[in-house]
């Protein structure tokens, strides 16, 4: 019984040490993989960040579009390098589609906030309006 308790204490101590020292490989992987959803939540929740992200995505897509039709045209020749051609235009489409989806999401959020503000305004007007007058 004492050996089981000692083994349990030793395992708890080693877990605490690895947590404190942050040397656990599973924690490093967790921090790396948890960054992506947290960054995505940050972009989605903050209106200014969302709009800046849309602007940057569209600028990059336009720059790629311009470069793909001008000085990268020989490099992206579909008969010589079909894989590069397809990948390039998939990236351009993906950037544009991401900006479009963020714009639709932003539109829906603004619409929802407008409805909420109208509802609150209606509630405030109902509570602050005087009762019926004698002439009514």
Does residue 59 lie within any of the structural domains?
yes
Does residue 14 lie within any of the structural domains?
no
For the residues 7-33, what does the mean pLDDT come to?
58
Does residue 28 lie within any of the structural domains?
no
| % of the chain at pLDDT higher than 90 | 46
Does residue 23 lie within any of the structural domains?
no
> In the 8-state DSSP scheme, what is residue 1?
-
Question: Could you please report the per-residue DSSP string of 81-102?
Answer: -HHHHHHHHHHHHHHHHHHHHH
Mean pLDDT of the chain: 82
Where is pLDDT greater, at 9 or 76?
Answer: 76
Q: How many domains does the chain have?
A: 1
Q: How confident is the model at residue 49 (pLDDT cuts 50, 70, 90)?
A: very high
Please give the pLDDT value at position 19: 46
What residue numbers bound the domain in which 44 lies? 35-122
Beta strands in the chain (DSSP E): none
| % of the chain at pLDDT higher than 70 | 71
Condensed to tens digits (0 to 9), the pLDDT of residues 85-115 reads: 999 999 999 999 999 999 999 999 999 999 9
Does residue 10 lie within any of the structural domains?
no
Please give the pLDDT value at position 20: 44
Does residue 130 lie within any of the structural domains?
no
Condensed to tens digits (0 to 9), the pLDDT of residues 51-71 reads: 999 999 999 999 999 999 998
Q: How confident is the model at residue 78 (pLDDT cuts 50, 70, 90)?
A: confident
Does residue 6 lie within any of the structural domains?
no
Q: How confident is the model at residue 76 (pLDDT cuts 50, 70, 90)?
A: confident
Please give the pLDDT value at position 5: 64
Query: Any long-range contacts for 80-89 (C-beta under 8 Å, 24+ apart)?
Result: 88/64
Does residue 68 lie within any of the structural domains?
yes
């Amino acid at each position: 019984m004492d050996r089981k308790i000692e083994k349990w204490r030793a395992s708890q101590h080693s877990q605490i040490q690895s947590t404190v020292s942050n040397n656990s490989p599973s924690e490093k992987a967790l921090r790396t993989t948890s960054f992506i959803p947290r960054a995505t939540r940050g972009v989605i929740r903050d209106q200014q960040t969302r709009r800046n992200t849309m602007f940057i995505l569209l600028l990059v897509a336009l720059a790629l579009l311009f470069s793909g039709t001008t000085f990268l045209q020989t490099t992206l020749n579909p008969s010589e390098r079909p894989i590069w051609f397809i990948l390039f235009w998939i990236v351009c489409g993906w950037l544009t589609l991401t900006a479009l989806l963020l714009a639709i999401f932003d539109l829906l959020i603004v619409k929802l906030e407008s409805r909420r503000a109208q509802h609150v305004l209606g509630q405030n007007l109902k509570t602050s309006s005087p009762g019926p007058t004698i002439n009514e």
